[in-house]
A and B are shown apart, each in its own frame.
Chain A
């Protein structure tokens, strides 16, 4: 299956490992990700919108116009991009006044968008187009030692009229995925609670508190790792975890993985290829178990071959 791939800015900088692991598992699952040529920033929720609304809609629409030329669904790794691009589709469909202004701006720069692109999140592609059955067939290492708290955050499931990956209050699709990989799911209340998003830059204190609540909630519910589907959530929960620990004087030490890394581990892909060395809270304490399982699995396979 072929998709117009829109990694988003973060997946190529602070969350490089997310893109790497997504590409690695795509290879196993026969998904072809064709990067949108010369894609640009989507406008990042309201970061540009609050300053220049029309300009930010035109920014997002340019990406959609580029994908329209490719005649494929546009697939993104980032939940914020997923929201921003889907919202642009909705605005252009419903608000004819804005549409004509944006169209004119795009035309002046040589682009043209007719509204025919479907915006997808990579998780949705995996679960809807590929399916759990096919993923299960590729699992080489059962991640039995992992208790995974799947974290959906905001834009995978909210607002439901724009981002409809799953139920907005009680999503379960990532949990089902986790179980398919042989791991146990963790039920906890924080799975759709906001991590603070870009408040980490402008209002650090608020974001630190919000992310702390989520991390502790997951940990106290028995998780030994978390899985995210958004580079910004991952940044707040993983890269800022040390700041949270020192600010609130708590020990958390909870590895946070991109859900693609988790799938990669189950597929038996090398940790380095999945970029696990880039995670700030070292997942080493959880993956010796899985790597040990892997070598065991490899051995038993070798035994069988003999």
Chain B
């Protein structure tokens, strides 16, 4: 645990984000208004979240570090970290937090924030959410084959091959639904989209 704190401390000391008090507060305030960010000031840096996190091994900053970084106003670093995308939303952190910080929920909100601020480094992550939305908005339900084909990296031979073998496996077992499962009333999807877009921008 202590080396995580050291790393963070060193980074906070290095001159990169020259966070003036106001901009630090701005980001903190913004986060506190998000779903999951309400109780972020209650964090006591106990590390329960980082200790139980099943995807910690693939993150650049641990959950407890991210919370501290938000406190320090390190907006760009937080929003472009891999942590917010590697989180699998398993809610182990939120379940174990003695101060009731819902870190997993906050990760979902920060993903949305990163998308809106154009700070997503990993294109596959952005595409997943974008295409998922597109498919659902088109049919009203998820059509997995269409989503997977859209996400396929056509230049990566290895991934093409492994995806083809998975597709074949699913097809043989009758698990691939070729025809899209369209709902009857799709017109309301557009209505709701328009209305929520309008509300979101307010």
Q: List chain A positions with a Cβ less than 8 A from chain B.
A: 9-10, 12-16, 38-41, 43-55, 58-59, 62, 91, 95, 101-102, 104-106, 108-111, 154-155, 158-160, 168-169, 192-194, 196-199, 201-203, 205-207, 209-210, 239-240, 242-243, 277-280
Give the contacting residue for A158; candidates B95, B122, B140, B147; CB below 8 A: B95
Which of B57, B86, B133, B176 has the largest count of A CB atoms less than 10 A from its CB?
B133
**A62: which B residues are within 8 A, CB to CB?**
188, 192
Is the pair B196, A101 in contact by a Cβ cutoff of 8 Å? yes
Question: What is the bound-complex CA distance between A62 and B166, given in angstroms?
Answer: 33
**Binding site of A, secondary structure by majority: helix, strand, loop or mixed?**
loop
**A111: which B residues are within 8 A, CB to CB?**
188
Q: Which one, B10-18, B68-76, B107-115, is touching chain A?
A: B107-115
Is the pair B169, A52 in contact by a Cβ cutoff of 8 Å? no
Is the pair B133, A108 in contact by a Cβ cutoff of 8 Å? no
Question: What is the bound-complex CA distance between A111 and B191, given in angstroms?
Answer: 11
Question: What is the bound-complex CA distance between A192 and B92, given in angstroms?
Answer: 9
Give the contacting residue for A13; candidates B54, B177, B185, B188; CB below 8 A: B177
**B129: which A residues are within 8 A, CB to CB?**
46-48, 50-51
**A277: which B residues are within 8 A, CB to CB?**
173
Question: What is the bound-complex CA distance between A239 and B85, given in angstroms?
Answer: 24
CB-nearest residue of chain B relative to A55? B196
Task: Count residues on chain B whose CB falls below 8 Å from chain A CBs.
Answer: 61
Is the pair B128, A41 in contact by a Cβ cutoff of 8 Å? no
CB-nearest residue of chain B relative to A109? B188
A199 and B88 in contact, given A159-B102, A194-B54 (Cβ under 8 angstroms): yes
**B108: which A residues are within 8 A, CB to CB?**
45-46, 49-50
Is the pair B169, A53 in contact by a Cβ cutoff of 8 Å? no
**Does B7 have its Cβ within 8 Å of any Cβ on chain A?**
no
Is the pair A197, B199 in contact by a Cβ cutoff of 8 Å? no
A9 and B128 in contact, given A45-B89, A105-B192, A159-B95 (Cβ under 8 angstroms): no
Give the contacting residue for A154; candidates B91, B124, B193; CB below 8 A: B91
Is the pair B196, A58 in contact by a Cβ cutoff of 8 Å? yes
Give the contacting residue for B89; candidates A108, A154, A242; CB below 8 A: A154
**A199: which B residues are within 8 A, CB to CB?**
55, 86, 88
A105 and B195 in contact, given A41-B136, A53-B200 (Cβ under 8 angstroms): yes
Is the pair B184, A38 in contact by a Cβ cutoff of 8 Å? yes
Is the pair B128, A47 in contact by a Cβ cutoff of 8 Å? yes
Question: What is the bound-complex CA distance between A50 and B35, given in angstroms?
Answer: 12
Give 6 nearest A-B pairs by CB, closest first: A194-B90, A109-B188, A105-B195, A50-B111, A158-B91, A9-B142
With A14-B175, A101-B199 given, can you name 14 additional A-B contacts, CB distance below 8 Å?
A14-B176, A15-B175, A46-B89, A49-B108, A51-B133, A55-B133, A154-B88, A158-B91, A202-B122, A206-B58, A206-B86, A210-B88, A277-B173, A278-B174
Question: What is the bound-complex CA distance between A53 and B142, given in angstroms?
Answer: 17
